[in-house]
Structure 1
Amino acid sequence: MSQEYETFQLGDWKLQSGENINNAYIAYKTFGDPNTPAIVYPTWFSGAISDNFWLIGEDKLLNPKKFYIIVTALFGNGQSSSPSNQPSPGPFPKVSFYDNVRAQHELVTKHMGITHLRAVVGWSMGGAQSYQWATQYPDFMDIVVPFCTSAKTSLHNQVFLEGVKSALIAVKKSRSSGSGEISLDRKTVEAHTWSAEEKDVGLKALGRVYAGWGFSQAFYRHKLYETVLGFKGLEDFMVNFWEKWACSKEPENLLVLLQTWQNGDVSQQEPYNGDFEKAMASIKAKALILPAKTDLYFPPEDSEYEVSCMKPGVGTLDIFPSIWGHWAGGPGDSKEDVEWLDNKLTQFFEDNRGDEVNSLTEQVQNAL
C-alpha cells in the first residue's frame, strides 16, 4: 500500500478550549470507490496513517472493493496539524477528541460530499474517536466498532499516562501540572525546543515506562517477545522494540496526544454537559464493543458499564480472549488476534446488513 496521503485545509480551526489552530489541516488517505459505503478509520496514539493499514485488505472486512475506507490522522500525530509541522516552535493549543471528530466530519461532508457513513471503527485512541463520532453525530453512521478503548478515560488510565508524560518531561526539568495538562512552560519558544540529547533521554524513558503497560503480565511471563516477536531477550525487546518506537516520535507531538487522551470523555459536549450516562444513551448506531481480557488500561469491566448505559439492543460486548494485553487490538503483531477481530467485524457487519442497504440508498438519494 502507498505511504502517501492527502491533506484537507480547515482554515483557522476553533477548538473547544477557545483556542485556535491557525491554518489547520487534517491528513487522510482513502481506499476504494467513493460510490461504495464509507467507513472512517482514525489513527491511534502516536500512529501514522500507514500504521492503520494492517486491518485493510481484500481478504478482510475492511475491503477496498466493498467499502470506501477513510483513514484520518489525529491532530498531533505529525501528519495532521501538529507541533512538529508548525512554522515555528511554540505553544500548541489544547485539542480534544471533539475537535478531531469535528474536523473529520468537515472532511467527509464538505470535501468528500458524504452524508452518511456505514461505520466508524478504531483501536485505542482510534476507538475513542469512534465513540466520539457516535455521540457527536448520532445519526451519521450505522455501526461503530471501538476496540481496546473507552468512551471516557478512566482515572487509572489517567494515572498511567501521568507516568508516561512525567518520564518524558523530566529531562526538561519539568514536573506534571496535572492530568490533561501539558506541563512544559507554554509561554516560551525555548520550552518547546528539544536538543538531540533531551529527545534521546526523554523518549527512551517514555518507551520503558510504556513497556509495562502495552502488553500484559502473561505476555511477559510466556516470553512472547522472544517466541513470537523474535527478540533475543528482555533487554533486546526494551531497546529494539520500545525505545526504537519511542525515539521515532517527536516529544511535542506526544504531549499533544497525551493531553487529548487524558481528557477523553464523550459527555464533555452539548447537549450532555458532563452526563456520561446520557451521552452513552444517545448512541443510535449499532455498537460492537471489543475490549481485551488482559488490557491493562482498558479493562472489560469499563466496557461492560459503557454498554449497560446504551439503550437496549444498541450495544454488543465481546472480549478478546488474548494475553497480548492492549496489543490484542492492534497494530497487527498478534496474527491470531487480527483473525479474531476480523471475524467479529465480518459477522457484525453481516448481522446488520439492513443498515448497509439503507445507508447506500441514502447516499445515492442525496447525490441525485
Structure 2
Amino acid sequence: MEEIKDKIQKLTISDQYSTYKLGNFKLKSGGEIPDALIAYKTFGDPSLPAIIYPSWYSGSISDNFWLIGEDKTLNPKKYFIIVTALFGNGQSSSPSNMPNLKPFPDVLFYDNVKAQHILVTKHLGVTHARAVLGWSMGAGQTYQWATQYPDFMDIVVPFCGSAKTSLHNQVFLEGAKSALFAAKSTSSAGISQGEVRASDTEYRPFTKEESSVGLKALSRVYAGWGFSQAFYREKLYEKALGFKDLDDFMVNFWEAWACSKDPENMLVMAYTWQSGDCSDQEPYNGDFAKAMQGIKAKALVLPGQTDLYFPPEDSAIEVANMKPGIGEMHIFPSIWGHWAGGPGQSTEDVKWLDEKLKDFFAKS
C-alpha cells in the first residue's frame, strides 16, 4: 500500500506546473489570444545559469523530464531549468482550455518564443540563458530563439528538428490533419490552412465520436513516421517496448497516445509546426541563409540517422549556412527514427544524447 501511495505522489508531483498570465496576447498573424497563459515548470535555483527547454508536438511539460536529473547534463544542481509548454498543448492557452475561443487563432513558433521570452525575462528575471535546447518541435523553437533573440543565449542544441519545416514534412502533416478533418466529413484547405468550410458557416467543434474516430486515424498515420523502417523490421516494438505484436503496438501505443489528446489542440500545434520557418521574421524577411547566419550562439545540431521527419541532409544544410565556427552536427547512430531524440524510451540514444550535451556544454 505504501508503495502505491508513493507512486501516486510522484505522479501528482510530475503533473504539477505553473502558469503565467500574458494578458491579451497579440500574434504575428494579427490575431489575439485573450487572457493568454503560458505554462511552465522550473528546476533548480533561479541564481544558477538558465536553460530553456520547450515542449514538443502534443507533449506535456512532464514529457520533458526524462532528460533532467542530477546524473544528467541538465542537472538542477548546476542549472536553472525552465520547461515551457507550447500554445495548444492543453496546458498553455489551447482550444481545450479556452472553449469560447472558436476557432483558435493561428500560432507560430515566433509567438511561442515571444511568450517564452516574456515569461523568462519579466516573470522569472532571467536576462541571459546558458542554453536553449529541445526535441522535434522543441528544436524548432530552439532555432526560433537563436534567430529571434540571437544575443540571449550562449549555446543552442536542436535535436531531431529543423529551422524550417521541409516540404516533405509539410506533406506528412497534411496526412495527419486530414485524418482528423475526415472524421468531421471535411478536409484540409491546404498547407498551413485549416479545414474547408463555407465562409458563411460558423466553426463547429468535434463531437465526442468524431474526436475518437479522428484521433485513432491520426495515430495510424503517425505510426508510419515516428519510427523507422528498420525499427519495424527489427521488431523493436516487441523486443524493446514489450508489445506482443504489431496490432498490440498500434492500439496500445499509438492509439493510446492519440486518444489521450484533444483534436483541436493537435490541429493548433500542427499549424505551428507546418508553418515553421525562422527566416519568416525581421530582419531576415524569408532569406533562410541570412537567418542561419544571424545565429550567434554556438550550435550543436543533432539529427537522427533514420528520422523520417527531419533527415540529416536537412540539418547539414542548416549548419552549412551558419557562420564559420558557429555550428557543428553529429548524427544519432540509431534505428529508432524520430524517437531517437525523445521522449526517453531508447535508453542507448538517451545515453548518447546526454554525452553529446555534456561534451558541448563543457567546451562552449
Contact 1:89 1:192 in 2 (8 A): no
* Number of equivalenced pairs: 352
Cα distance between partner residues in 2 of 1:198 and 1:87: 17
1:242 counterpart = 2:254: yes
Query: 1:42-81, aligned counterparts within 5 Å?
Result: 42-81=54-93
Contact 1:125 1:149 in 2 (8 A): yes
Contact 1:91 1:186 in 2 (8 A): no
Secondary structure, aligned partner of 1:41: strand
Cα distance between partner residues in 2 of 1:87 and 1:164: 23
Alignment match, 2:30 = 18
Residue 188 (structure 1) shift? 8.5
1:34 counterpart = 2:46: yes
Cα distance between partner residues in 2 of 1:187 and 1:39: 44
Q: Structure 1 pair 86/189, CA: closer, same or farther in 2 (3 Å)?
A: farther
Query: Which 10-residue stretch deviates more, 1-10 or 339-348?
Result: 1-10
Cα distance between partner residues in 1 of 2:101 and 2:196: 13
User: Structure 2: which 5+ runs fail to align?
Assistant: 1-9
Alignment match, 1:147 = 159
Cα distance between partner residues in 2 of 1:6 and 1:276: 35
Cα distance between partner residues in 1 of 2:49 and 2:247: 46
Residue 273 (structure 1) shift? 0.4
AA in 2 matched with 1:85 = N
User: Structure 1: which 5+ runs fail to align?
Assistant: 353-368
Secondary structure, aligned partner of 2:54: coil
Alignment match, 2:308 = 296
Of 13, 16, 24, the residue aligned with 1:4 is: 16
Residue 182 (structure 1) shift? 1.7
The TM-score normalised by the length of structure 2 is: 0.95
Cα distance between partner residues in 2 of 1:186 and 1:180: 18
Give deviations 1:290-310, integer Å, cap 9, x for gaps.
000000010000000000000
Q: Structure 1 pair 172/257, CA: closer, same or farther in 2 (3 Å)?
A: same
Query: 1:28-177, aligned counterparts within 5 Å?
Result: 28-88=40-100, 90-177=102-189
Of 241, 244, 263, the residue aligned with 1:229 is: 241
Alignment match, 1:356 = none
Q: Structure 1 pair 263/135, CA: closer, same or farther in 2 (3 Å)?
A: same
Contact 1:158 1:262 in 2 (8 A): yes
Secondary structure, aligned partner of 2:155: strand
Q: Structure 1 pair 186/317, CA: closer, same or farther in 2 (3 Å)?
A: farther
Residue 187 (structure 1) shift? 7.1
1:202 counterpart = 2:214: yes
Alignment match, 1:271 = 283
Contact 1:123 1:330 in 2 (8 A): yes
Contact 1:291 1:318 in 2 (8 A): yes
AA in 2 matched with 1:136 = Q
Question: How many percent identity over aligned positions?
Answer: 70
Alignment match, 2:264 = 252
Cα distance between partner residues in 2 of 1:58 and 1:188: 56
Contact 1:180 1:259 in 2 (8 A): yes
- What RMSD over aligned residues (CA atoms) do the two structures have, in Å? 1.3
Give deviations 1:71-127, integer Å, cap 9, x for gaps.
000000000000000142511111000000000000011111111000001000001
